[in-house]
Amino acid sequence: MKLLKYLSLVALLLVTGFTYAQEEEPEERKPGHSNVNRFKQLYEVFSTPNVYRSANGAPGPQYYQQQADYVMDIVLDDQQAKINGFETITYTNNSPDVLEYLWVQLDQNVREKDSKSPLIEGSGAQPATMASSFVGEHMGSSFDGGFKIQAVKSAKGADLGYTINQTMMRVEMPQDLKPGGKFSFSVRWWYNIPEHTIDRARSGFETFEDGNRGYVIAQFFPRMAVYSDVEGWQNSQFWGRDEFALPFGDYEVNITVPSDHVLDGTGVLVNRKDIFTKEMMNRYNEAKKSYEKPVIIVTQAEAEMASKGFTRSSKTWKLKAENVRDFGFATSRRYIWDMMSVKIGDKDVMAVSMYPPEGNPLWEDYSTIVVASTLKSYSRMSFDYPYHKAISVHAKNQGMEYPMICWNYGRPDKDGTYSDRTKYGMMSVIIHEVGHNYFPMIVNSDERQWTWMDEGLNTFVQYVAEQDFGEWYPDAIAPNKAYPSRRGPAKKIVSYMAGDQDRMAPIMTKGLNTYNFGANAYSKPATGLNILRETIMGRELFDYAFRTYSQRWMFKHPTPEDFFRTMEDASAVDLDWFWRAWFYSTDYTDIGVKEVKTFYVTSKMSKEVREMMEQRGMKESDLPPLVYLIDEDSEDFEESMRTSTLADVPTLQAYIMDNVPADERASLKNPRFFYEVTFEKPGGIPMPIIAEFTYSDGSTKRLTYPAEIWRKNDASVGKVIASEMEITKITVDPDEETADIDTSNNSWPKKKKLGDFNRFKENVKGQ
Ligand SMILES: [Zn+2]
């Protein structure tokens, strides 16, 4: 009963206070507005769930995806640096739509002589240009790149009509392709392989000093475009930046290279017995049982010996891959090759490296253990690696990914020495590119449209994997040091978030159209996920939801909403506000302490309350027992209040005697200091307020107010902190985990800025 009465008084005071304020200062009428609440659900922004994609973020009951199977014969002409190819594509239409034509991607065409790609880039005269770029930009490149399509035929050998529009080829079928139907056709082509070290291509060859070449070959065959429920045909042109959208399929690829070359690529090598020497076979069998360190299959001495020769005879390497979205391979007579086994779940996976002697000693020491470590970390964060191997190939200046194989940079100086920068750059790019096996090779998002879905998610797990590596292989990194991750921690994104808004685009922008590609599509989404994991959701909820997304969409094509919806669906954390702020806007975080007022407890009725009471025609005896808090600026303040305690408030003591059982009274806190803390939020992003209170004895305590504290007032919120000890300092976001761009307002009392003269005096004193 008494509690009820007390509550009704609080309500009365609130109501009274409201009318009182209104009568004193009549408010000016403001115009109406629509719902601009930052916590509003994303209904209008998200696409509507349907039979293909469910509201929970999982594939819907009628989800479908197309299948493209390839049989290819590829011949590498090492003398001319050319590739000749013949492929048969079998396309299965699993969609409910009738297809009148097929779209095939011709990515090599960005290097055609008359490619439009360079024409969409604005430019200014540079004071210094790399000679290779200068030749390309100002002297008319002599390189004759692009696919030379020789024939497009039906399975029966009849010519098919086709139209090439830049990097896309439309193939006309004799009949429409009905739902459930299959269509087979063949393409014969060749192209000149670009020198990737000069041409900045994603694949091509590098010429070593001894004249031999190392080939890292990808985008080397006409590839089917994706047809889906969200895009129809994804035939957005390849301008050179936005990567690829590819359907899954089975591959049978026969690659003919000089017989003194070694080769590895996507898929199972089905004729290993014909290709490997006895020695290599023995070493390979040893590698299958080696879980601690790699076994060398082709030694440096053997690679250097092979590099001295040149043969016109050839060998055909036969590779078969099931359920992959692409195919890549690397080959040279100058490659060293090593492998080790890594246990993933109950299966053995082969971690593999291929590198020229130019990569040693760095590559022999680290590449394969980094591959193994990466597979373990990513498998823990998403799903067990489903393929039988993961290969890291060393190619100068490259960082590019394909199913089971990737190219990575990181080269020591000629004398074999290298800096920490080179070493960690190499390790990080290997973790990153091997990690791409998960995103987007298996969780097959549309890279052409959403760069962040592969680069951002992957860079986030890369950060986790880097930190794992540091823990698992402390000897491989400088002793007692944490792995020096470049991206992931919140404070590393601050300079980007605080940058020029005219040169910024939301993450939810097509990669081609963003500024500051690395920060926008890699760092910012990765950091956002890291903040969700460490600060907003916690590891347990985040990791479960992230694994759910990964497993729901492995070997499928997710969209951004599928990710956003799943993260909420699996965690019961409403994140619409976070997606809106971090992914759909260029807002930034800035939260601070605006003001702190100290209050003292008293039993003396303040003037303010007395006026309210009198205005309503009430007497003091009409009110229930009250406790008053008065700040030192108030006209009711008296010096004696500074030392008053709860014991000096008879109404409170009487209330406690009546309402709190005797055995519980001793456990009641006895606060003496009352602080009204006003937190301000100049930044647009709502974030939890992480407040650290420092007490007069030097001890500290942290309180985190969820981001939802901002739901009704986006600019500032107040909190009353009752404390038994005096608070000497309040710091917001003490560990810099929210990417707060301005920390000058993060603490109270404000740090005094010394004038120049004072600073000079301080310095003199210090010396
Ligand atoms: Zn990447």
* C-alpha 696 to ligand 1 mean position (Å): 50
Q: Classify 263 as helix, strand or coil.
A: strand
Q: State pLDDT tens for residues 640-676.
A: 888 889 998 998 999 999 999 999 999 999 999 999 9
Q: What is the mean pLDDT of residues 564-584?
A: 98
* C-alpha 195 to ligand 1 mean position (Å): 21
What is the share, in percent, of the chain residues with pLDDT greater than 70? 93
DSSP 256: E
* C-alpha 234 to ligand 1 mean position (Å): 20
* C-alpha 521 to ligand 1 mean position (Å): 10
* C-alpha 487 to ligand 1 mean position (Å): 13
pLDDT score at 13: 55
- Strand bridging mode 148-154 / 182-192: antiparallel
**Residue 739 · residue 497 · CB < 8 Å:** yes
* C-alpha 236 to ligand 1 mean position (Å): 20
* C-alpha 47 to ligand 1 mean position (Å): 27
* C-alpha 455 to ligand 1 mean position (Å): 5
* C-alpha 451 to ligand 1 mean position (Å): 9
Confidence of residue 155 (pLDDT cuts 50, 70, 90): very high
pLDDT score at 597: 94
Q: State pLDDT tens for residues 36-77.
A: 999 999 999 999 999 999 999 999 999 999 999 999 999 999
Chain-wide mean pLDDT for the chain?
Answer: 92
* C-alpha 156 to ligand 1 mean position (Å): 41
DSSP 5: H
Task: Identify which of 535, 737, 707, 680 has the alpha carbon closest to the alpha carbon of residue 38.
Answer: 707
* C-alpha 399 to ligand 1 mean position (Å): 7
* C-alpha 432 to ligand 1 mean position (Å): 6
One-letter identity of residue 550: S
pLDDT score at 122: 75
CA Rg value for the chain: 33
* C-alpha 546 to ligand 1 mean position (Å): 19
The string of DSSP codes covering 485-546 is -SS-SGGGGHHHHTS-GGG---SSS-GGG-SSHIIIIIIHHHHHHHHIIIIIS-HHHHHHHH
* C-alpha 202 to ligand 1 mean position (Å): 12
Q: What is the mean pLDDT of residues 394-420?
A: 96
Query: Cβ neighbours of residue 162 under 8 Å, at least 6 residues apart?
Result: 149, 152, 169, 170, 171, 172
* C-alpha 364 to ligand 1 mean position (Å): 23
* C-alpha 436 to ligand 1 mean position (Å): 7
Query: Cβ neighbours of residue 131 under 8 Å, at least 6 residues apart?
Result: none
* C-alpha 726 to ligand 1 mean position (Å): 51
β-sheet bridge partners, residue 254: 73, 318
* C-alpha 203 to ligand 1 mean position (Å): 14
Q: State pLDDT tens for residues 168-185.
A: 999 999 999 999 999 999
pLDDT score at 686: 97
Q: State pLDDT tens for residues 709-754.
A: 999 999 999 999 999 999 999 999 999 999 999 999 999 998 765 5
* C-alpha 707 to ligand 1 mean position (Å): 31
* C-alpha 255 to ligand 1 mean position (Å): 27
* C-alpha 122 to ligand 1 mean position (Å): 25
pLDDT over threshold 50, residue 7: no
* C-alpha 245 to ligand 1 mean position (Å): 14
* C-alpha 95 to ligand 1 mean position (Å): 30
Distance of alpha carbon 145 from alpha carbon 114, whole angstroms? 10
* C-alpha 458 to ligand 1 mean position (Å): 7
- Strand bridging mode 389-394 / 405-408: parallel
* C-alpha 429 to ligand 1 mean position (Å): 9
* C-alpha 492 to ligand 1 mean position (Å): 18
Q: What is the mean pLDDT of residues 336-354?
A: 98
* C-alpha 439 to ligand 1 mean position (Å): 9
* C-alpha 177 to ligand 1 mean position (Å): 35
* C-alpha 243 to ligand 1 mean position (Å): 10
pLDDT score at 480: 66
* C-alpha 32 to ligand 1 mean position (Å): 46
* C-alpha 400 to ligand 1 mean position (Å): 7
* C-alpha 438 to ligand 1 mean position (Å): 11
Q: State pLDDT tens for residues 539-554.
A: 999 999 999 999 999 9
* C-alpha 50 to ligand 1 mean position (Å): 31
The string of DSSP codes covering 530-557 is HHIIIIIS-HHHHHHHHHHHHHHSTTB-
DSSP 1: -
- Alpha-carbon dihedral angle through residues 243, 247, 251, 255, given to the nearest 10 degrees: -20
* C-alpha 431 to ligand 1 mean position (Å): 10
- The region that residue 436 occupies, defined by phi over 0 for left and psi between -120 and 50 for alpha, beta otherwise, is alpha
* C-alpha 454 to ligand 1 mean position (Å): 7
* C-alpha 518 to ligand 1 mean position (Å): 10
pLDDT score at 691: 98
Distance of alpha carbon 562 from alpha carbon 57, whole angstroms? 4
Q: State pLDDT tens for residues 426-480.
A: 999 999 999 999 999 999 999 999 999 999 999 999 999 999 999 999 888 876 6
pLDDT over threshold 60, residue 5: no
Distance of alpha carbon 258 from alpha carbon 226, whole angstroms? 34
* C-alpha 127 to ligand 1 mean position (Å): 30
* C-alpha 320 to ligand 1 mean position (Å): 25
pTM above 0.85, yes or no: yes
* C-alpha 353 to ligand 1 mean position (Å): 19
* C-alpha 316 to ligand 1 mean position (Å): 31
* C-alpha 561 to ligand 1 mean position (Å): 21
